[in-house]
Structure 1
Amino acid sequence: MARRALITGVTGQDGAYLARLLLDKGYEVYGAIRRAASQTLPRLRELGIADAIRPVTLELNEFSNLLRALEQVRPDEVYNLAAQSFVHTSFEQPIYTGDVGALGVTRVLEAIRAVNPAIRFYQASTSELFGKAQTMPQSERTPFYPRSPYAVAKLYAHWITVNYRESYDLHASAGILFNHESPLRGPEFITRKVTLALARIRHGQQDVLEVGNVEAQRDWGFAGDYVEGMWRMLQQPQAADYVLATGRAYSVGRFIELAADALGFSIGWEGTGKATRGIDRRSGRVLVTINPIHYRPAEVDLLVGDFSKAKERLGWQPTVALPDLVAMMAEADDRRVRDGRLML
């Protein structure tokens, strides 16, 4: 009999790639979808798997709904990828962010404990837990220092996962994933905002790209690699927490340069701080400006991960280098803009 997996957040980037991976492995895949979510499922359709996913209506803030969903699906594995996942938005909606991102995870764990404690559970933790990082690079042993309501909610979710593992012997693992991107990333995120804006500029549909702190540095990998790590965590005899990362950090400015290169521009920087501008060396045109509205109230300056535990125990490591990832995203957005086919 095929194994069954329930994925919350299946309509997002990670959910789509994970669903494809599990289908390829012969799973029956159930996708938890909020009633308010788009029913067109653009990311799943982009991967050609929308009709293979079995939809389940689910709200993380409704415990009775969670119970019924687990009783209906009877999954072997639950991957909780759902959250209010935009850091900037979390400062504007801290209570909602906490309810879904923190208490929502507790509800899922309680439902698993009530319906079938043998269900294996994956919680999507985040490198934002490290925030004002205390050591470089960050590993599973690095102290947490969250710097946004999003990260604080994720901190609660992380520790409640550990607590249920230790208190009730659940097979509950948390993946502390550093930034992972793809052509399926939403345009609200800086990486996709960059590639989409530069593609629009190339085709005369936008004048300039506005960004915030171009000095911030992140450890960026490919989402398709990271969902493989999620699956491997739930195949282990014992549950544990793992950092997934590339071990290399690049600035937002460098990401912009790589995207510009992929689209036929060549960015040079002028000015400092909020007066920084990105100039196309070939045309002299201003392509990038700084808008302070995009700065975070509490900035996270540098995150870079140590994935040695995942490499040793899971046999996992990243396969896509940042220049190749950026080119993949830029080329996908260039095709979408050129063809008038903007998904997401």
Structure 2
Amino acid sequence: MTHRILITGASGFVGSALVQLLERDHTECKVFAFGQGQGQKHVVDLQDMEAVDKAVREVQPSAVVHLAAVAMPAEANNAPRHAWNVNVMGTMNLAESVMRHTPQARFVYVGSSEAYGASFKSIDGPVTETAPLLPTTVYGATKAAADLMIGQLAYDGLRAVRFRPFNHTGPGQSDAYVVSAFARQVAEIVSGKKEPVIYAGNLEAKRDFLDVRDVVRAYAISATLDLDVDPDHVYNLASGQPRKIRTILDMLIAKSGIDIEVRVDPDKLRPNDIPLVWGDASKARGRLNWSPLVPIEQTITDIFGYWHQRCNAG
């Protein structure tokens, strides 16, 4: 069987990794990559209901992996109405088009662990999929709202799988995210382009880090497996091993072989920062036979290598 997989947000960090994985390891798949990047073959504005409808009708996908979103929390904070329009109404446009034109298609919705928000403070231990969605940020709220909407549409017949991935990173990620930001600074110091000082925010916060290559493997599994119709197809993607931000930074500094000073920048401290974020992915292990395979050490090595190469190339 040839799978016809439509990917929104295909030009982004995660979307690009998913396209590469499918084209390399799933030759039975025909990939339709929709993104906003320069040179993209397929471009669609999720807020344009007619354009979304036309795309789904023409592609006739057997699966849709919905990654497109206002994904940077700072961007969502700066333009909340736009974030709600894209992340919620755009998701509704896409889901309704799938139900209208390809009702047998799998709909893979990529949410976020940020939807749990305040639940991390009240739950002792790693968060499971049954934890309340209590988002504390604009981004988390939009992802929680779309998550609940897709869950409701699953009762109306949408063949949905919902993911709540925890922090994931890897080579090629924007330096707007913490691990990539540190890696870039360390690479610039090694290349002699920056003084040996790194400015950081809260280094004591603990986060559950994953490699993007593990995360997209879960999306590929859900898009190609013949899963039953069940509104309970909602899965955390997590390592179950929270690490201090300081630990990640120390690993990167060790790669440099240089004595680098770390200074706390008050402007980088967030007033509502949650001290501990970690998840339980046993449901994904049991139902999807998924578990993270890439060691954190490999992830750190590859991210540093990516930025070191970029710095040397100018």
TM over 0.5: yes
Report the number of matched residues. 304
Q: How does 1:302-341 map to 2 (within 5 A)?
A: 302-340=276-314
Contact 1:147 1:300 in 2 (8 A): no
Contact 2:4 2:63 in 1 (8 A): yes
Question: Any idea what the Cα deviations from partners look like across 1:303-327, whole Å, max 9, x if unmatched?
Answer: 1111111111111110112222112
| 1:30 equivalent in structure 2 | 32
Contact 1:246 1:307 in 2 (8 A): yes
Aligned partner of residue 270 in structure 2, secondary structure: coil
Give 1:21's aligned amino acid.
Answer: L
Question: Any idea what the Cα deviations from partners look like across 1:141-161, whole Å, max 9, x if unmatched?
Answer: 112221110000000010011
Residue 297 of structure 1 deviates from its aligned partner by: 4.5
Aligned partner of residue 298 in structure 1, secondary structure: coil
- Residues 1:119 and 2:105 aligned together: yes
Contact 2:12 2:35 in 1 (8 A): no
Contact 1:262 1:331 in 2 (8 A): no
| 2:5 equivalent in structure 1 | 5
| 1:209 equivalent in structure 2 | 198
RMSD: 1.5
Identical pairs, percent: 26
Distance 2:54 2:263 in 1: 50
Distance 1:56 1:332 in 2: 27
Distance 2:305 2:102 in 1: 45
- Residues 1:290 and 2:264 aligned together: yes
Q: How does 1:169-208 map to 2 (within 5 A)?
A: 169-207=157-195, 208=197
| 1:159 equivalent in structure 2 | 148
Distance 1:201 1:129 in 2: 36
- Residues 1:260 and 2:260 aligned together: no
Distance 1:298 1:109 in 2: 33
Residue 118 of structure 1 deviates from its aligned partner by: 1.2
Distance 2:139 2:50 in 1: 25
Distance 1:329 1:338 in 2: 14
Give 1:9's aligned amino acid.
Answer: G
Question: Any idea what the Cα deviations from partners look like across 1:66-92, whole Å, max 9, x if unmatched?
Answer: 001011111111101011111122221
Structure 1: gaps of 5 or more residues: 42-54, 266-279
Contact 1:148 1:298 in 2 (8 A): no
> Against the structure 1 CA distance between its residues 302 and 180, is the aligned structure 2 distance closer, same or farther, given a 3 Å change threshold?
same
Aligned partner of residue 186 in structure 1, secondary structure: coil
- Residues 1:238 and 2:229 aligned together: yes
TM-score by length of structure 2 reads 0.92
Give 1:339's aligned amino acid.
Answer: A
Structure 2: gaps of 5 or more residues: none
Question: Any idea what the Cα deviations from partners look like across 1:151-182, whole Å, max 9, x if unmatched?
Answer: 0000001001101001x211111111111111
Give 1:22's aligned amino acid.
Answer: L
Aligned partner of residue 56 in structure 1, secondary structure: coil
